[in-house]
């Protein structure tokens, strides 16, 4: 461990040396002002370049200056057979208690068998989880407590970077044949983490949901690959709940449930460059189950490719709920053989018995669909099943072109909603349910203003 630290420090010295060499060449061979001596110019240039590099690369201090805590140094075998949980716990305890920046390291080309574990904060300094190898969940049910809800749980850790190009494998196939509602753990959960960065990881075969952000703030997620079988139940890719200011970008997700699900308490959520399929699409909800109150606001999905999914972009709420889902934009999205490409379902009912009719509902308002094209596997490419007592408000369709996969004309079903059209829109709702561009443009302009304020677009 000490030798790794010395290597990191030596790497920093080498980088600094080459910067100074370039500064020496500039200072002695360029025509510069004489108010500083050549040596002073070299020194100033060297420091400026080093600082610039540090600011440009957020992981610089972690990769070169931080103290490493490799799980192998704490007794992990990484053979995929021995239980390495205790080694992970020991390495985390030391890394989290370090007074200087630390790296919790999982070595490349190894498989570490791990039972449920909590990586708890707060930590004393900034911390990086460098996952370069594979973390594998145990298949022994006896290793999981009866009410254990998490396999890997990161709790109360601020300024955390998780990266490394490795794999987190939930070994979920042993759970998929059982009830998806009872005694199944979430694979990777971040709870009450602030200023979190998750980059360049594969999460696969989750027991239940793959990656969960619960009560987190200021989250950056990029270059994540999520993979599970199409028939694996309740294996959402990325699940966002009670989380604010999160950006998900450049990620590929294929599961047996929602690629991305955004639920109660979440606001200022942005997803860009998403590839989705197989799965159930990109969803807001479900909201309002068991007569609960739910709020989701300021969501923007900008740039997505959905292929063969059972839904495209969806908002789903239960009867009997309350609250609202508002200021939502889906734009620049391509659909390939997608069932229900655009859908709002306020009569969502995910249970064996039919849901009884109720009057209250989550209010849906200010929703824009813009520049969405492609093919629908179903005849009804646009479905708005809104509440009779709380109709959908401020729905805008702009630049929509959806046809059936077999080249037939797609249709729209629109209940309890008035839609504003902007530009070419195919398919359209029946005329008696529609307000043309001029009559509801104020709603569209309001939504665009809100979107610009939150997402700087």
Q: Would you please indicate which residues are annotated as catalytic (active-site) residues?
A: 280
Contact indicator for 151, 207 with CB cutoff of 8 Å: yes
* Helix or strand holding residue 13 (H, E): helix 2-29
| The two three-digit tokens of residue 210, written as one number | 């793959």
CB within 8 Å of 193: residues ≥ 6 apart: 121, 154, 155, 156, 157, 158, 160, 213, 216, 217, 219
Complete DSSP assignment for 258-323: -SEEE-TTEEEEEEEEEEE-SSS-EEEEEE-GGG-EEEEEEEEEEEEEEES-S-SEEEEE-TT-EE
User: How far are the Cα atoms of 106, 237, 239, 248, 249 from residue 253, in angstroms, in the given order?
Assistant: 24, 6, 12, 12, 11
Nearest Cα residue to 316 out of 352, 343, 276, 277: 343
Q: Is 340 left (phi over 0), alpha (psi -120 to 50) or beta?
A: left
The CA-CA-CA angle for residues 433, 439, 441, to 5°, reads 110
Dist. CA 238–CA 246, nearest whole Å: 12
The CA-CA-CA angle for residues 330, 211, 55, to 5°, reads 80
Dist. CA 453–CA 446, nearest whole Å: 11
Contact indicator for 362, 401 with CB cutoff of 8 Å: no
Contact indicator for 382, 414 with CB cutoff of 8 Å: yes
Contact indicator for 171, 210 with CB cutoff of 8 Å: no
Count of Cβ atoms closer than 10 Å to residue 302 Cβ: 20
Dist. CA 314–CA 321, nearest whole Å: 17
């Amino acid at each position: 461990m000490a030798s790794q630290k010395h290597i990191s420090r030596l790497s920093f010295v080498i980088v600094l040396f080459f910067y100074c060499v370039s500064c020496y060449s500039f200072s002695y061979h360029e025509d510069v002002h004489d108010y500083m001596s050549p040596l002073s110019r070299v020194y100033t240039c060297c420091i400026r370049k080093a600082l610039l590099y540090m600011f440009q690369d957020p992981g610089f201090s972690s990769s070169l200056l931080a103290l490493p805590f490799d799980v192998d140094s704490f007794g992990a075998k990484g053979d995929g057979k021995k239980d390495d949980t205790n080694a992970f716990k020991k390495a985390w305890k030391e890394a989290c208690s370090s007074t200087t920046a630390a790296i919790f390291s999982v070595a490349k080309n190894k498989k570490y068998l791990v039972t449920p574990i909590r990586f708890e904060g707060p930590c004393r300094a900034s911390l990086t989880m460098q996952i370069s190898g594979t973390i594998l969940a145990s298949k022994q049910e006896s290793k999981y407590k009866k009410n254990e809800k998490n396999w890997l749980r990161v709790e109360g850790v601020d300024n955390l970077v998780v990266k490394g190009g490795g794999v987190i494998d939930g070994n979920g196939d042993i759970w998929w044949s059982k009830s998806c509602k009872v005694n199944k753990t979430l694979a990777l959960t971040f709870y009450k983490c602030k200023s979190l960065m998750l980059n360049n990881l594969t999460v696969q075969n989750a027991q239940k949901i793959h990656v969960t952000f619960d009560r987190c703030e200021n989250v950056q997620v990029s270059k994540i690959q999520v993979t599970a079988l199409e028939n694996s139940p309740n294996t959402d890719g990325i699940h966002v709940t009670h989380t604010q200011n999160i950006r998900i970008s450049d990620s590929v997700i294929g599961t047996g449930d929602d690629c991305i699900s955004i639920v109660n308490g979440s606001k200022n959520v942005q997803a860009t460059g998403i590839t989705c399929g197989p799965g159930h699409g990109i969803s807001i909800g479900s909201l309002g189950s068991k007569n609960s109150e739910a709020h989701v606001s300021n969501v923007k999905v900008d740039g997505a490719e959905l292929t063969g999914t059972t839904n495209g972009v969806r908002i789903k709420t239960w009867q009997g709920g309350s609250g609202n889902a508002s200021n939502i934009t889906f734009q620049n999205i391509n659909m390939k053989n997608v069932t229900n490409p655009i859908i709002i379902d306020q009569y969502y009912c995910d249970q064996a018995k039919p849901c009884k009719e109720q009057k209250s509902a989550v209010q849906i308002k200010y929703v824009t669909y813009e520049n969405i094209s492609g093919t629908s596997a179903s005849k009804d490419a646009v479905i708005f099943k809104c509440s009779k007592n709380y109709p959908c408000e401020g729905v805008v369709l702009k630049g929509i072109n959806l046809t059936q996969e077999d080249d037939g004309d797609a249709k729209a079903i629109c209940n309890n909603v008035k839609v504003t059209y902007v530009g070419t829109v195919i398919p359209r709702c029946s005329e008696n349910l529609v307000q043309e561009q001029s009559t509801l443009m104020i709603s569209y302009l309001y939504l665009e203003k809100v979107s610009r304020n939150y997402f700087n677009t």
